């Protein structure tokens, strides 16, 4: 089969990702030779892989190369499902930020530094954030400021500060700005009180002002030097700033969903058993639990060691799910934020740099429990359109029909006219 370059891998001249026979490889170009050799020989690669911070890879036959600039071809461990920062909960983005800074500190102790700090360089593997761009390391040159400082503030600090201090939904801005939230915008949106926090004042407000002031000015970059202690001080200051940011997932519409349904304990247990039996029958390799809330039914799949993406529209539910997974050391569930009525689109150059939800499918099986009334009634979707979506998305479907007399459906209909004569068990 012909090798195919990945659409999102074109910015870095040091190499790129490509698929051959559905296997992912990364070409390391000659341009990156010195840094690649240093990464391996210095022990940094081993130190990061041993602590599960960097994706491990094998060096493979150079004949796999698809350009003559090749130095090495590496085959990284496969990430089962690629997710993006605008699909992460608050703590997922926070953990990704802290992982990036931890990697930077370890890299500096080995004489290297991250030349970029894109949030897209982090993926979740076995429940934990892992750095996937092996070519992001360059030899540290004493005196040089951090080249990826601006990117770190735009990709991590600004969205986390906005989510924590203004509104949790502002993480959706990341979808509009592919290289992170512009700092002048973050500065305008953040509350005035944040000007009294040294870290937010410097890394966002003053940063935005300095960017504006120097936007049309040229400086001699060779004269701009900072000591290694100052460099480490900046990393330490960013780490403190991120650690101080918090968000409590309480009080939203769905956060206490399971305490407010008309399921008795027995009925809920029966539903769990039914789902478990269905899963045993179809034995799927992977599952998307759509409308998963805090992952109650995803856990059934996880207990069977099935890779499960646990989607929900509510940031509080996704946050609770993620924190539970961390607490229980669940390596099979990946909780993600998704509005199924407006699923993640393809974004970036030619809408291909970051994949849409559909591009990341189809999946072996979908769980759609207590979901259909939200699609059919809240979102006016005809049942045949819902069926078409599921048909394109999965090979097997476990779906629950919630009848009109259910109190949850009655709640949805309480403030509107019932224009859904076809929403019946028979039509379903």
Binding site for another protein (CB under 8 A): 11-14, 31-32, 35, 115-116, 138, 141, 145-151, 153, 202, 206-207, 210-215, 217-219, 221, 224-227, 229-234, 236-237
C-beta of 223: minimal distance to another protein in Å? 9
Question: HSE on the CB side for 103, CA within 13 Å?
Answer: 34
C-beta of 356: minimal distance to another protein in Å? 26
C-beta of 318: minimal distance to another protein in Å? 30
C-beta of 50: minimal distance to another protein in Å? 25
Give CA separation, 53 vs 101, 122, 395, in Å.
11, 10, 34
Closest to another protein by CB, 228 vs 388, is: 228
Closest to another protein by CB, 138 vs 330, is: 138
Closest to another protein by CB, 224 vs 392, is: 224
C-beta of 100: minimal distance to another protein in Å? 14
Whose CA is closest to 41, among 143, 129, 147, 137?
Answer: 137
380 SS3 class: coil
What is the rounded CA–CA span in Å between residue 70 and residue 26? Answer: 10
287 φ/ψ angles, rounded to the nearest 5 degrees: -140, 145
Angle 258-317-177 (CA atoms, 0-180°, nearest 5)? 160
Closest to another protein by CB, 105 vs 388, is: 105
Closest to another protein by CB, 83 vs 117, is: 117
Closest to another protein by CB, 26 vs 207, is: 207
What is the rounded CA–CA span in Å between residue 281 and residue 369? Answer: 17
C-beta of 155: minimal distance to another protein in Å? 12
What is the rounded CA–CA span in Å between residue 75 and residue 56? Answer: 9
What is the rounded CA–CA span in Å between residue 213 and residue 217? Answer: 8
C-beta of 199: minimal distance to another protein in Å? 9
Closest to another protein by CB, 122 vs 367, is: 122
Closest to another protein by CB, 119 vs 148, is: 148
Q: Are 164 and 245 in contact (CB under 8 A)?
A: yes
DSSP calls for 144-156: PPPTTHHHHIIII
C-beta of 116: minimal distance to another protein in Å? 5
Q: Which strand (E) or helix (H) includes residue 60?
A: strand 57-60
Closest to another protein by CB, 32 vs 288, is: 32
Cα 362 from chain centroid (whole Å): 19
C-beta of 40: minimal distance to another protein in Å? 17
Closest to another protein by CB, 35 vs 164, is: 35
Q: Which residues contact 391 (CB under 8 A, 6 or more apart)?
A: none
DSSP calls for 405-417: TSHHHHHHHTTS-
Closest to another protein by CB, 41 vs 221, is: 221
Tokens of 287: 């599952």
* Helices within 304-402 (DSSP H only): 315-327, 372-373, 383-393
Angle 295-297-298 (CA atoms, 0-180°, nearest 5)? 60
What is the rounded CA–CA span in Å between residue 390 and residue 398? Answer: 10
Quick check: bond before 238 cis, omega within 30?
no
C-beta of 57: minimal distance to another protein in Å? 20
Indicate the pairing of strand 122-125 with strand 128-131: antiparallel
C-beta of 182: minimal distance to another protein in Å? 11
């Amino acid at each position: 089969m012909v090798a195919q370059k990945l659409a999102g891998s074109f910015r870095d001249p040091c190499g790129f990702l490509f698929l051959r026979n559905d296997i992912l490889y990364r070409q390391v170009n000659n341009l990156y030779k010195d840094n690649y050799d240093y990464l391996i020989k210095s022990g940094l690669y081993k130190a990061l892989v041993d602590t599960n911070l960097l994706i491990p890879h094998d060096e493979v036959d150079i004949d796999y190369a698809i350009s003559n600039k090749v130095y090495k071809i590496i085959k990284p461990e496969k990430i089962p499902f690629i997710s993006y920062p605008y699909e992460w909960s608050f703590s997922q983005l926070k953990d990704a930020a802290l992982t990036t800074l931890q990697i930077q500190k370890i890299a500096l102790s080995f004489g290297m530094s991250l030349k970029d700090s894109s949030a897209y360089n982090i993926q979740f593997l076995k429940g934990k954030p892992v750095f996937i761009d092996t070519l992001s390391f360059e030899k540290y040159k004493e005196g040089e400021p951090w080249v990826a400082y601006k990117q770190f503030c735009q990709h991590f600090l600004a969205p986390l500060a906005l989510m924590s201090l203004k509104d949790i939904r502002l993480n959706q801005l990341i979808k509009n700005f592919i290289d992170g939230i512009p700092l002048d915008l973050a500065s305008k949106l953040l509350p005035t009180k944040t000007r009294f926090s040294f870290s937010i004042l410097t890394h966002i407000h003053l940063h935005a002002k300095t960017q504006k002031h120097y936007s049309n000015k040229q400086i001699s970059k060779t004269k701009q030097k900072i000591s290694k202690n100052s460099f480490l001080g900046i990393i330490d200051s960013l780490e403190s700033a991120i650690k101080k940011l918090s968000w409590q997932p309480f009080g939203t519409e769905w956060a206490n969903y399971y305490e407010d349904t008309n399921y008795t304990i027995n009925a809920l247990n029966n539903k769990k058993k039914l789902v478990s039996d269905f899963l045993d029958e179809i034995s799927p390799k992977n599952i998307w639990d759509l409308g998963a809330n805090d992952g109650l039914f995803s856990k059934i799949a996880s207990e069977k060691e099935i890779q499960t993406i646990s989607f929900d529209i509510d940031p509080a539910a996704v946050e609770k799910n993620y924190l539970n997974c961390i607490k229980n050391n669940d390596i099979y569930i990946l909780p993600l934020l998704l509005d199924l009525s407006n699923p993640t689109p393809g974004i970036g150059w030619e809408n291909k740099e970051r994949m849409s939800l559909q591009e990341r499918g189809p999946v072996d099986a979908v769980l759609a429990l207590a979901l259909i009334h939200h699609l059919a009634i809240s979102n006016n979707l005809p049942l045949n359109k819902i069926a078409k979506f599921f048909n394109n998305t999965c090979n097997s479907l476990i779906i629950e029909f919630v009848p009109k007399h259910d109190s949850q459906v009655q709640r949805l209909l309480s403030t509107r006219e019932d224009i859904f004569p076809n929403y019946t068990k028979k039509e379903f």
